[in-house]
Amino acid sequence: MADPDLDDLQRRMNGALEVLRQEFAGLRTGRASASLLEPLNVDVYGTQMPINQVGTISVPEPRMLTVQVWDKSAVSSVEKAIRDSGLGLNPAVDGQLVRVPIPELTEERRVELAKIANKYAEQARIAVRHVRRDGMETLKKMEKDGEMSQDDHHLWGEEIQQLTDDMVAKIDESLVTKDAEIKQV
């Protein structure tokens, strides 16, 4: 008798949670965070490159980010990428250093960010449910092919459901934490 690969399901569900955490890191709160700029791509040397491959991102002050651009010719491209990112940031160039002040969040913007965080969390829950569905379909196929009894199918199904419930609880926990962070004045 073969057993379903719960480790693979767990790994895939953890992947959904990790993607959620990365998306949350990119959501702006009142504090500066280097992860805010990491998803940005800069148009340099005729190609799109991640911003952390054209300069060093640092947080010298709680409300300021800086990007030390390595190549002088890429400074304007970095500034343009930050300005056009949709993050509501207004960078200032100082030689090869791009300063990015983080403005105060308005109440309207906080509500908007909370909605975006909810959307990200829902996408993660959907991804976890897709993994659960794949696991359940594998169980059905194994039972149909005679590799597993009905009782085993039921037991493994409960195991997969428990895994799913635990992961959804972690997603909800991450959302509550991020929501509190966004609404903190």
Query: Would you list the domain boundaries of the chain?
Result: 6-25+106-183, 31-101
- Whether residue 104 contacts residue 30, with contact meaning beta carbons closer than 8 Å, is answered with yes
pTM for the predicted model, two decimal places = 0.69
**Alpha carbon 162 to chain centroid distance?**
24
The CA-based angle 125-29-53, given to 5 degrees, is 85
Q: What pLDDT is recorded for position 185? A: 63
- Whether residue 31 contacts residue 178, with contact meaning beta carbons closer than 8 Å, is answered with no
Q: What is the pLDDT of residues 170-179, one digit of tens each?
A: 999 999 998 8
Amino acid at 147: E
CATH architecture of 6-25+106-183: Orthogonal Bundle (1.10)
- Residue ranges of the chain with pLDDT lower than 50? 1
Q: What is the DSSP string of 124-160?
A: HHHHHHHHHHHHHHHHHHHHHTTSS-HHHHHHHHHHH
Place of tokens 């304007």: 76
Q: What pLDDT is recorded for position 1? A: 45
Q: What is the pLDDT of residues 122-160, one digit of tens each?
A: 999 999 999 999 999 999 999 999 888 899 999 999 999
CATH of domain 31-101: 3.30.1360.40
Q: What pLDDT is recorded for position 159? A: 93
What is residue 41's DSSP assignment?
E
Place of tokens 């509500």: 111
How far is it, in rounded angstroms, from Cα 90 to Cα 99?
A: 9
Go through the chain and tell me how many residues it has.
185
